[in-house]
Structure 1
């Protein structure tokens, strides 16, 4: 057996990449800016609708004020008996007074209703004198209610003569004739004025509002970058501590393997030769005793050599992860347990992940060989994008997980903590009579190796 060398494990290289950390900070800042953009959209969308609604309300109020002015100062003083009775002279006088408003396109349609629903005056002469049902809005105005101003689609030829389809501003206001008769003045305005005022208000308020939010976002960017850098520094420190712990563990295993090989195994091997010599030269009656003692001694030497091999793992860089995992089947075959391997042709894993996966598989298969009473075991290694997974399962006796880890499974508990510190997960599933399954993962489900952990390590081939 080759003598194990003692030194820095080849599995890990304590190398930190500032460029990588900067890229991680850049990713964090990019996520922050993206979230800020989403928040900006979420905030500005309802605000924009609110501004649009308020601008519409303000524009409609302007239309109401203009209609009040037109009704009280222009139409009201001319509502004498000639106009109310529909005589041509009165109608022509009122039409002459309203013509500038209509021709300037500030007023689209005009009607004057009495309380019985008769149209006293309209810019369309065909409607004058006709009686229709008094609109509900006009009834409310006559009853002293609020003056309505609405944007609505006009489709009814009776309600809006001369207009096919289109959105107009409809306003009803009360007007009183000189003799005290109450009427309703109805006017229609083109909606362009309302829309223009809405756009002017919205685009007038939007730039300072968006600029304020952008300044707030930029003001938060600097502390966000600082926080991201502190988090990266913490992750880098944790990765270094984890790496040192794993290196120390590997060094200790190498030292124990070396001591066993150089001292205990060598001395026991020498004692075995002495026992063999004594067996050849001892009386016939004692040879069986020496033979049994030598056999027990040789079995112990083989066990110690196997233990040394387990303590000092194979070189993953030389064998590849697949080759190293395949060697784990030898102790199982000696116990009559077959191992089925499912390994991908190409699976890019850095040295740190490969080392941890190897240790998980070694510990799980050692438990299978010693405690499971299984006849078959399976080892699967898969990688999909950024997710890597190794799964070891057997058809052994299993155990009750509610009773805690049985004897011999404490190594997996330690590996679970180590995998967790490295940003992965390790799961053990078992039930009496249903075997045991061990799954270790990196990436996917929100777990991954921390920012510097093994990033600069060279990939370990699977074959």
Structure 2
């Protein structure tokens, strides 16, 4: 009754662990997706900001060009170019509303020689400064030039205290056809507002698109995680069936040996002993030798049945089971050193796995290692349990005789790896062999 009640509990725990693995995989997918979105979004935001600034600068150039071609150029007369008194009145009247409402901070008109022929600040008129490096290209018909920043040039003594300004240079033509350069300074508020409006308009759309893409990928990701989990569960079940079938076959062979072969050989031993007692003196030695061989074979078969049919781990416990498993090595003159804590916190599943590993390794030690000492250590911490078995035998060349070539160890390695653990084998010619099996504290599979 207790065993049948325990099985649903292990099954429920397995299903819960599988759901937890799916949730963990989906969580990792979402985390990676969010990180990827941030990695993409930050450069994209910087690019959008730069493009919006470029677009705002282009708009400022177009605004200055319209001002130069339709409001300023036609009013630049020969008298104004000559610097005659009163020649700037009409241009002053035209620009006064724009300057007073703050849309324009400063206006300068330069001739090709670097002389200021007009400015809303009259003290600058007639002064000569070096033209910017792009002036020749601009005078030859090139595109206007704009930048945003604090104006600290030699000709900007009256603008340097105004903070960041948008400085625009465009080419225009005076009334007499002379080519001049208009330099206009605009407050940066308009450019900033235009830039922010473009960023605010594009970034949310961009992030929503990335989020929609992430959500569209989430459903297939969940389905894929569940499909992979289903394949892993199927693999676990197949391995479990293989292990269960192996155990059942071991039990059947042990039972047949005990109930048939060993009983028959034991009966034959008694018959030989009786014949020995009633035989002639010359035949007694022969009967005695046959009886001794037969009794040795019976002992060997009894040891084999003990190895084939493991003890009840739930009743005996892993420490005692390992101690009993190591006892036959003494008959082969192999000293066994056990380091097993008496209070191991191991469930039946992990105990069975570690017992199978120890049984396989110790059997190989007896058959192949030619060892004098074997150390078996069981260690635990908060996260994992480790079984370490080391012998001082002859060892082997792992390059020539890999552990994968041994069927028993390969099955154990596959079983433990599917359970989320590891099995490592290390050996040196003349330096012995070490086998370390590691399992997490919780194993998501049910073993028999």
Per the normalisation by structure 1, the TM-score is 0.83
Counterpart check, 1:106 vs 2:103: yes
Q: Which moved more, 1:350-359 or 1:106-115?
A: 350-359
Distance (whole Å) between structure 1 residues aligned to residue 134 and residue 188 of structure 2 = 19
Tell me if structure 2 keeps the 8 A contact 1:393–1:437: yes
In the TM superposition, residue 186 of structure 1 has moved relative to its aligned partner by 0.9
CA distance in 2, matches of 1:385, 1:192: 61
Q: Is 1:300 paired with 2:297?
A: yes
350-359 or 247-256: which moved more? Answer: 350-359
Q: 1:15 is matched with which residue?
A: 11
In the aligned structure 1, how far is the partner of 2:374 from the partner of 2:361?
A: 10
Q: Relative contact order: is structure 1 or structure 2 higher (C-alpha 8 Å, sep ≥ 6)?
A: 1
Report matched runs for 1:430-449 at 5 Å. Answer: 430-442=427-439
Deviation sequence 1:91-127 (CA, Å, 0-9, x none)? 4543333222222222223222222222223334443
Q: Secondary structure at the match of 2:264?
A: helix
Deviation at 1:412, TM superposition (A): 2.2
Q: How does 1:73-88 map to 2 (within 5 A)?
A: 73-88=70-85
Distance in 2 (CA, whole Å) between partners of 1:166 and 1:268 is: 109
- Once the 2 structures are TM-superposed, how far is the Cα of residue 429 of structure 1 from its aligned partner? 3.0
Matched, 1:136 2:133: yes
Contact 2:319 2:342 in 1 (8 A): no
Partner of 1:461: none
* Alignment equivalent of 1:329, drawn from 326, 337, 342: 326
Query: Which moved further from structure 2: 54-63 or 419-428?
Result: 419-428
Matches within 5 A, 1:65-214: 65-156=62-153, 158-159=155-156, 161-164=158-161, 166-214=163-211
* Conserved? CA contact 1:400–1:430, under 8 Å: yes
> 2:386 aligned with 1:394, yes or no?
no
Q: What's the counterpart of residue 248 of structure 2?
A: 251
Aligned to 2:259: 262
Relative to 1, partners in 2 of residues 1:160 and 1:237: Cα closer, same or farther, differing over 3 Å? Answer: farther
Deviations 1:326-380 (A, max 9, x none): 3333222332323334446776544333322221221112111222111222334
Unpaired segments ≥5 residues, structure 1: 1-6, 459-463
Change (3 A) 1:58 1:45: same
User: Is the 1:109–1:160 contact (alpha carbons within 8 Å) kept by the matching residues of 2?
Assistant: no
What per-residue deviation string (whole Å, max 9, x for no partner) do you get for residues 143-197 of structure 1?
3222112223434464353424843322110122112222211112222222211
Q: Which residue of 2 aligns with 1:230?
A: 227
Post-superposition CA distance 1:227-258 (Å, at most 9, x none): 33333333222222222221111111112122
RMSD (Å) for aligned C-alpha atoms? 3.4
8 Å CA contact 1:329–1:338 kept in 2: the answer is no
**CA distance change for structure 1 residues 61 and 33 in 2, over 3 Å: closer, same or farther?**
same
Shift in alpha-carbon separation, 1:352–1:129, aligned structure 2, 3 A = same
Residues 30, 301 of structure 1: alpha-carbon distance in 2 compared, 3 angstrom cutoff: same
Asked if structure 2 preserves the Cα contact closer than 8 Å seen for 1:321 and 1:354, the reply is yes
**Alpha-carbon spacing, 1:367–1:73, altered in 2? closer, same or farther (3 Å):** same
Query: What is the aligned residue count?
Result: 443
Relative to 1, partners in 2 of residues 1:151 and 1:350: Cα closer, same or farther, differing over 3 Å? farther
Q: Is the 8 A contact 1:428 1:436 kept in 2?
A: yes
Q: Does 1:428 align with 2:420?
A: no
> How far apart in 2 are the matches of 1:346 and 1:123?
94
The superposition leaves residues 207-234 of structure 1 with CA deviations (integer Å, 9 ceiling, x where unpaired) of 3433343334333333333333333333
Residues in 2 aligned to 1:162 and 1:331: alpha-carbon distance in whole angstroms: 99
